[in-house]
Amino acid sequence: MKTPLRDAGLPGATADMGSGAEYRIREVEARLDRRLTAVEGRNGQAGWAVRLVILGLVATVAALGVALWRVVPDDGAWAVSSLSAEELVLRDAEGVARGRMATDTEGRAQLTLSDQDGRERIRLTVLADGSPGVTIHDREARPRAVLGYLSDGTTNLVFADELGVSRAVVGIDPDGSSQAFFTDVSGSIRTLVGVGPDGEPSVSTYERAGGS
């Protein structure tokens, strides 16, 4: 008895029932073997691709490590040529803010330094018009001395007491005159010493009520 072997993929071929079944089995096995070989080949190529990617990553990390080892100093400190930020905060080992550099909405640029308790002790300021100033604070963060140069050319050095009252002021005006005045605890001027733009000196004293 003959039977077509179309299932084996050979149209028109014929064979006995037994031999046909064996042939189909061998053909299926051959096809499976060819497919398995093809899959293994593709997997092998993918495996090599993965290996190449991994090797590339390892090489990149190694190169980066060498580069960092070359640029980082022996003490571990980083050195950069440029740093851009709106605010920088310097903290000590305890996490206390000891320094701050920032700008504000009024156009001022400020650098403040604080003690180990975080209290502001000194401040450097540049106003929007370019006027620089330095303020020194006491242990309670109260301003006690201020040095400023204004945009009109006036220079002043002001000393204040713990209540914030200006007790002594020394200044130079744009016209070249200089003066110094001293106040009492209420802030009233008691003594005024000056030298005019023509070099003429003057000394004035005032009563507590403000009369000369």
Amino acid 8: pLDDT: 40
Amino acid 60: pLDDT: 72
Tokens of 181: 């005045």
Residues 99 and 61 occupy one common structural domain: no
Burial 151-165 (b: 16+ CB within 10 A, else e): eeeeebebbbeeeee
Final residue belonging to a domain, choices 71, 104, 124:
71
Residue 93 pLDDT greater than 80, yes or no: yes
Residues 22 and 62 occupy one common structural domain: yes
Q: Which residues contact 31 (CB under 8 A, 6 or more apart)?
A: 9
Lowest mean pLDDT among 36-40, 93-97, 158-162: 36-40
Residues 60 and 96 occupy one common structural domain: no
Note whether residue 147 is domain-resident.
yes
Highest mean pLDDT among 22-31, 81-90, 189-198: 189-198
Amino acid 212: pLDDT: 47
Structure-token match 């851009």, residue found: 84
**Residue 66's domain spans which residues?**
3-71
Domain tally, the chain: 2
Lowest mean pLDDT among 8-22, 46-60, 97-111: 8-22
Note whether residue 76 is domain-resident.
no
Note whether residue 82 is domain-resident.
no
